[in-house]
Each structure stands twice: as structure tokens, then as C-alpha cells.
Amino acid sequence: MDNPLLQFYRLPPFSKIKPEHVESAIDYTLDQCRIKLKNLLEGTKDYSWKSTIAPIDDINDRLNRIWSPISHLNAVVNSEELRQAYNACLPKLSEYTTELGQNPKLFRAYKSIADSDDYAKLSTAQKKVIDDALRDFRLSGIDLPTEKQQRFKAIQQELSKLGSSYSDNVLDATQAWSKHVEDPAFVKGIPESALAVAKQTAEQKDLPGWMFNLEFPSYLAVMTYADNRDFRHEMYDAYVTRASDEGPLSGRWDNKENMDEILGLRHELANLLGFTNFAEFSLATKMASDNQQVMSFLNDLAQRSKPLAEKELQEVKDFAKTSFQLDELKPWDFTYYSDKLRQHQYALSQEELKPYYPEPKVVQGMFDVVNELYGLQINELHKDIDTWHEDVRFFEIKDGSGELRGQFYLDPFARPNKRGGAWMDVCISRQRTKNGIQIPVAYLTCNFTPPVGKDPSLLTHNEVITLFHEFGHGLHHMLTKVDYLNVSGISGVPWDAVELPSQFMENWCWEREALDVIAHHYQTNQGLPEELFRKMTAAKNFQAGLQMLRQLEFAIFDFRIHSEYSPDNPIDIQKTLNDVRDKVAVLKAPPYNRFQNSFSHIFAGGYAAGYYSYKWAEVLSADAFSKFEETGIFNKKTGSEFLTTVLEQGGSREPMDLFVEFMGREPSIDALLRHSGITQTD
Ligand code: ZN
């Protein structure tokens, strides 16, 4: 066999993997997985961890380790051929996953282990693997009587159709509107970079001048910078009425029926599985314990943030009035005057900070920070490392006792055919195998501006934060000491808790003591001047109250429509939204605003009754960091406690238990409110 994907490798042979290897490797591996699984389940009725679960983990690990480099290469060195091969594999993989979730023999095997005397002898992590698996089997409807099971499947299919119809409507409505202009006076205020894009859009239609559309960057540029108020108004109306019964395209692609049906079916689906409503179903796999807890969490944050938000809004109104003689601040004025106010108050551009963040020194500084915190040594390896691009570097992490804990690839710079954004992904997961511990390996991918000439790449402060964020995910994946595939590292961590280690790391980017380690001028090696540091911290919390309330408005709306639904009294979506706005929003939306008709996160994405997770994770990370604020941000004892109670435990225990073990109490919203400047520092 000369397919490099099918050779047994530890680190993937990236340079040898070609598009033509992809599909055949996946076909072959999926066949092997099915055969092995069948033999395993039919060979015995005497199921145990050793005879059943360990071999199943091996089967799935093999598949993961072949698929991981393929999907990674598709993201970072994309080509037409590779994308085709990748896309051809996607339905095959999802079919296999569905098969596993719906396999009654597999379900019975897990169940019989859970019911056996051996279960009590298993470790906490092993028990969690079995409990999680049984929970997911049940949530996939496998335990239902035949009739209900059929209905369950029918609902799932219907929901998936409605979801795509919803997002198709949003997409079509977004693309249907555009504004073509030729008069330079009309676009006054809009920066060159946004105009260049608008010019290109016009050129693609063989038109002179500029063309604006409802894609978010185009919309945001107009709302933030266009001096022409009527233009802002026109665009605002088009944007907030997409896929609805209002606005310039009213009635075309209206999502109202889709939304009503989606809510009804979600409710029925949850009922079939024994939950009172869909919100309860959503929480079955999350850290938050019940509806009540989520709602009081959100309401509490809203109540505490509202006074500041009101003050911030008044500031914008006053500023617009005194400096620009604006009588009444309308929704299409808010972003525009807010930006003017921000410039007026802080006069700080990201450009000023960049010389202090040369990429190589920031990366080294970040390693020094985690060395201080957790006693980790991070070294670059050069020998015999096969990568996909010359920019990619490879590192290993050793702990204080010299033990190898993890390894990672760092691919820092933007280039053609590389997906945008930044992320951490899994290359190899930690688990105990016949040959000992399998060391975890991660990919850290960013899209920083590449170096020009002899000068290093200079990062913005936001990019530094991004790097720390992704490295936080990486440490969670790599520092785990759990030996079982489905709960080691980030596996098995509920998604309202998975952002804790990443957002937690961001805190160091705002601390003087840490910036002294991270920031050095690329020419003079000088640290960040005190004045810049002060400006940077002051600008950090600009309109923090308003931003907080906006996110809470979405989260409360999402949670209420999924928890208050009842078949006799189906939810009136608009009425609920109005009510949420009355109670929460400071900046009032006009009555024709149909934001909900394009809220794809919850109607077409995975965030249904889960939008609160964003704030939830922020609270956890801010709160955990407050212990470092109290004991010193480089306190080794606190660092080692965070390492052993959170990072090393992965998904092997309930995140609330881990949090309580670290903090000595349940999470509190105080630290987040303080960090956001919503309450004053003591
Ligand atoms: Zn993240």
C-alpha cells in the first residue's frame, strides 16, 4: 500500500499527502472501522471496558488520526482537488457517525457495562465516558419505542430542512439588496479600504462608482463611517428587515413560518425524550444545571449592567448634540456617533501599539508567561519535522519534572488558500494505548500579516489576544492527564465551559506585569510605554455596558422562546422579543426591526437555547482569573492549582465540580462586571 495516509505514522506525513490519497484512505478506513466494530460486538456478549470500550476507542482514534491531517490541510493549503476530495468524504463520515449513534448493539454494550458489577471498579474518567455515551445515545432517540422513534427521526429531518430553508432565506434576502452610487459626495466619510471593496463589487457588475450590499463588512462600514445620514437610514432599514414582512423587500423570503414551525418541532422533540421544553433538552449536555439558573444568571447580569449602559447611551446623545447639533439619535446614528466619540475620547489606534508586538517575541513572551505560571518548558524542534508550509514551526512542551506533555504546530501567517481566522484543532489526542501514553498534538493556526523584508511581523493588540486565546485551547488539549479518548483534553467538555481556558489566557494581555514579558519594541527592544498602556486599558471598556446588554438581549430572547413554548399557547416570537427589549434594551429598536428573522445562530445553527454560553464562559474565565488577581498574576501555587483542577482534568469530570474545586465556591458574575468596568474596582 503506497497511500501515505494508511501507513502507521505518529506525526502525519503532511508533505506526502496528496488529494488523490484522501478518498481511498477514508473509504478503506471506514470499511475497516465497520468490520472491526461488527466483529467486536458480535464476538461476545460479555462486555467490559477492556474487551469493548478500549478497542472501540482504538478504532475511532485510528479514523481521527487519518481524518485530522486531511481536514487540516483542506483548511490551510486548500486547492480545488483537495476540496473536492474533502467534500466527497464529508457525507461518508457523517453517515458513519449517525450509524454509531443509532447502533442498538453498541448501545446495549455500553448499557450492560454500566449495569455490571465492574462499573463500580472503573475510574471517574472511565465512568464519565460511559455516562456521556449513554446520555448521547438517549438524546439521539435510540431508547424510544418504535413509533416514537419514527416520529423523532421525522422531526429531525423536518428540522434540518426548516433550518436550511431559514438560512437560504437569510442568504437570498441579504444578496437581493444593494446600493449603487456614483457620486463621491454620497460616500463621504467611508474609509479607503471599504471603498476599495465597494468599487470592486461595482466593477464585478460592470458598473462605475461603488456598490454596497448587506454583507456585514459593507453594512458595518456604512453604519460606522458614512456621513450621509439618509444612506445610513436606508441601509439600516434594509438590513434589519431581511427575510421578513417589513422593509424594502417585504414579504419575499419571510422566515416567520419557518421560525414558528421550528419552535413547535423542537418542543415536540424535547417532549418525546421526556423534557418539559427544548431549553431543558439543550441543557442536558451543558454545564448550566437548569432553566432557572440560566434565566437568573442572565437577568442578574442585565440588571447590574443597565445603569452603566444608560449612562453610555446618554454620553453618545450628548456628544452628538453638542459636537454635531444632532437633535435626536436614531438607531442608524448610534454606531456612527459612537465611533466619533471613541476617537474623541481615546485617540488610540491599533497601529500605535504594533511596533511593540513583533511576532517572534510575542510568541516567546507567551511561552515565558506559561513557564512562570505552570513551570512548563517549551522548545522548538527542527529535526525531521514534516510540515505543509515553510512558515510552520513545531514545538514540544515539557513539564517541571521533564515529562513530555504535548506538541504543537504553529502556523502564524496569512497566505493564499488558507482559511481566515484563528483556531486550535486536534491532531492527536491523549489516550493510554497498548504501547503506553499517546502524547497529544495540536495545530495552532493564525492569520497574522507575514513579515515584510527584514522586519518581523508586527501584531495588533487584538492579534496578541487571539494568539493567547488559541494557545489557551491548546493547553487544555495538551496538558490533560486523562487517559481516555472521549474525555481527554477538550473532548467531553460541555460547550458552555470549553471557552474557559481560552478566554482565561486573554487576561494576561491586559496586565502590566505580563506585558513587560510580552511586549518589546521591534527596533529598540523597549517595553510598552506607560502612556500607551494607560490609553489601551481606558479604551478597553468603551461602551462595555451597552455591548453587554446587547448580547443579553439576544441570549434572553433565545432562552425564553425555547423555555416558554407550549403547544396550547405557541409562542408569539415578536411579542416575546418586544417584551425582552422593554425590559433589557437601552437602545430602542424601531417597531419594524425584524432582527429575529435573520438570527441564524439559533434558528439555523447550533446555538438554540445556548446563546447564553458566550456570557457564561466569560463569567467563568473572569472569575477564575480573579483568583490570580488576588494572589498575584504569576503566583505559582494558584497556577499549579489551575493546572491540576482545570487543565489536566479535561472532560473527565463535571465542569462545575472542577470550578468549585479551583475557586472553593460556585462562579460569581462580580469579576466580569468589574473587568468590564460595569462595577467599580474595590
Ligand atoms: Zn475559543
Q: How far apart are CA 14 and CA 31, in angstroms?
A: 23
Within-domain flag for 307: yes
Find the range with the poorest average confidence among 93-107, 181-195, 326-340, 344-358. 344-358
Within-domain flag for 266: yes
Name 378's Cβ contacts closer than 8 Å, sequence gap at least 6: 367, 370, 371, 395, 396, 397, 398
Q: What residues form DSSP beta bridges with 423?
A: 445
Q: Are 306 and 586 in contact (CB under 8 A)?
A: yes
User: Is residue 320 domain-shared with residue 360, that is, in the same domain?
Assistant: no
User: Is residue 316 domain-shared with residue 386, that is, in the same domain?
Assistant: no
* SS3 annotation, 409-421: EEEEECCCCCCCC
Q: How far apart are CA 667 and CA 411, in angstroms?
A: 35
- 466 CA distance to ligand 1 centroid (A)? 9
Q: What is the pLDDT of residue 390?
A: 95
- 423 CA distance to ligand 1 centroid (A)? 7
- 565 CA distance to ligand 1 centroid (A)? 31
533 pLDDT above the threshold of 50: yes
Using DSSP's 3-state secondary structure scheme, residue 249 falls into coil
Domain count of the fold of the chain: 4
User: Is residue 336 domain-shared with residue 360, that is, in the same domain?
Assistant: no
What is the pLDDT averaged over residues 550-566? 96
Provide the domain limits for residue 577.
256-348+543-611
> Please, what is the average pLDDT of the chain?
95
User: Is residue 482 domain-shared with residue 587, that is, in the same domain?
Assistant: no
Taking residue 216's Cβ as centre, other Cβ atoms within 10 Å add up to 10
If we measure between CA atoms, which residue out of 587, 560, 584 comes closest to residue 572? 560
Question: Distance of alpha carbon 207 from its chain centroid, rounded?
Answer: 38
Within-domain flag for 510: no
- 326 CA distance to ligand 1 centroid (A)? 40
User: Is residue 274 domain-shared with residue 396, that is, in the same domain?
Assistant: no
Within-domain flag for 15: yes
- 428 CA distance to ligand 1 centroid (A)? 19
Q: How far apart are CA 488 and CA 648, in angstroms?
A: 9
What is the pLDDT averaged over residues 547-573? 95
Q: How many residues are recorded in the chain?
A: 682
Domain of 97, CATH number, reads: 1.20.1050.40
Which helix (H) or strand (E) segment holds residue 25: the answer is helix 19-43
User: Is residue 478 domain-shared with residue 376, that is, in the same domain?
Assistant: yes
Q: How far apart are CA 129 and CA 653, in angstroms?
A: 10
Active site residues: 470
Q: At what angle do helices 291-324 and 544-563 cross, to 10 degrees?
A: 140
User: Is residue 455 domain-shared with residue 411, that is, in the same domain?
Assistant: yes
CA torsion sign for 563, 569, 570, 575 is: negative
Q: How far apart are CA 117 and CA 114, in angstroms?
A: 8
User: Is residue 367 domain-shared with residue 476, that is, in the same domain?
Assistant: yes
For 618-635, the pLDDT digits (tens) are: 999 999 999 999 999 999
427 pLDDT above the threshold of 80: yes
Within-domain flag for 159: no
User: Is residue 332 domain-shared with residue 299, that is, in the same domain?
Assistant: yes
Domain of 572, CATH number, reads: 1.10.1370.10
Within-domain flag for 571: yes
- 503 CA distance to ligand 1 centroid (A)? 7
Q: What is the pLDDT of residue 453?
A: 87
pLDDT class of 616 with cuts at 50, 70, 90 = very high
User: Is residue 94 domain-shared with residue 217, that is, in the same domain?
Assistant: no
Grid coordinates representing 361? 517575541
Within-domain flag for 634: no
pLDDT class of 682 with cuts at 50, 70, 90 = very low
Grid coordinates representing 367? 511561552
Domain of 453, CATH number, reads: 3.40.390.10
- Among residues 234, 268, 297, which one ends one of the domains? 234
For 80-126, the pLDDT digits (tens) are: 999 999 999 999 998 999 899 989 999 999 999 999 998 999 999 99
User: Is residue 380 domain-shared with residue 478, that is, in the same domain?
Assistant: yes
Q: What residues form DSSP beta bridges with 118?
A: none
- Among residues 559, 581, 611, which one ends one of the domains? 611
Within-domain flag for 283: yes
Q: Which amino acid is at 401?
A: S
- 622 CA distance to ligand 1 centroid (A)? 14
User: Is residue 326 domain-shared with residue 385, that is, in the same domain?
Assistant: no
- 559 CA distance to ligand 1 centroid (A)? 22
Q: How far apart are CA 145 and CA 331, in angstroms?
A: 52
Q: Are 68 and 93 in contact (CB under 8 A)?
A: no
For 194-206, the pLDDT digits (tens) are: 899 899 999 999 9
Taking residue 250's Cβ as centre, other Cβ atoms within 10 Å add up to 12
